[in-house]
A and B are shown apart, each in its own frame.
Chain A
């Protein structure tokens, strides 16, 4: 059974960089037609797709976040990561890593999510 688990700091200061890692178990993240991505959900609000990476390393980003986002992968460790620079309070959210099924933003397996708060 495929499992995804987010890890990283739960508190980030304004203007700093948010970094999260997703560890995948139960399957390889390479040699497949799937995508590996990040989504977020501010407290009490809806979902937002952040970006994804394909098996070949091609990245796809939400245009509204593209200038601040980097998604990368380490296939040897079955991990992929998110970097979001210059964070503000509006970046406070539960961050989910997920597997894209057939397309980068349609996700069939999700991690449990991790709350990241941006505050000084």
Chain B
């Protein structure tokens, strides 16, 4: 069981926009701005898409954007393309009663229709 809740799957047609949610608590997503999103293609290592809630690393397409409201973070992919089909994971720093760590969501499979 993962600490952060993501929908199992999201689908969309080419050119459309989709949003993936990531719900945690005040001990993780809601309490800190250390939220990240990763894309993982089959058989490959994860690729960092978003860090610190809404920042894109150099080289990541502007089509990927992140935001947060309360205990829920979101990743929006605009202008869906065929190679966006992948698994997406959110991650957050968490701290509770003097222990800290990084937790992940269970992952969302994005399907291009």
- Give me the interface of A with B, judged by CB distance under 8 Å: 46-49, 60, 62-64, 96, 101-108, 110-113
Q: Could you tell me if A101 and B102 are in contact, using CB atoms closer than 8 angstroms?
A: no
Known: A46-B105, A63-B99. A106 touches B45 (CB 8 A): no
Q: Could you tell me if B104 and A49 are in contact, using CB atoms closer than 8 angstroms?
A: yes
A60 contacts across to B, CB distance below 8 A: 100
Asked if B46 lies at the interface with its beta carbon under 8 angstroms from chain A, I say yes
Q: Could you tell me if A102 and B102 are in contact, using CB atoms closer than 8 angstroms?
A: no
- In the complex, the chain A residue whose C-beta lies closest to that of B101 is A62
Assembly CA distance A9 to B19 (angstroms): 40
A103 contacts across to B, CB distance below 8 A: 34, 93, 102
Assembly CA distance A101 to B47 (angstroms): 13
| Majority secondary structure of chain B interface residues (helix, strand, loop or mixed) | strand
A63 contacts across to B, CB distance below 8 A: 99, 101
Asked if B89 lies at the interface with its beta carbon under 8 angstroms from chain A, I say yes
Count of chain A to chain B residue pairs whose CB atoms are closer than 8 Å in the complex: 60
Assembly CA distance A1 to B30 (angstroms): 35
Assembly CA distance A23 to B100 (angstroms): 27
A101 contacts across to B, CB distance below 8 A: 48, 51, 57
Distance (whole angstroms) from the CB of A66 to the closest CB of chain B = 9
Q: Could you tell me if A108 and B45 are in contact, using CB atoms closer than 8 angstroms?
A: no
Candidate in B44, B45, B89, B107 with the most chain A CB atoms within 10 angstroms: B45
Asked if B52 lies at the interface with its beta carbon under 8 angstroms from chain A, I say yes
Candidates B46, B93, B100; contact of A47 at CB < 8 Å:
B46
B89 contacts across to A, CB distance below 8 A: 46-47
Q: Could you tell me if A105 and B93 are in contact, using CB atoms closer than 8 angstroms?
A: yes
**B39-75: which have CB < 8 Å to A?**
44-48, 51-52, 57
Q: Could you tell me if A47 and B99 are in contact, using CB atoms closer than 8 angstroms?
A: no
Distance (whole angstroms) from the CB of A33 to the closest CB of chain B = 14
Candidates B2, B34, B45; contact of A96 at CB < 8 Å:
B45
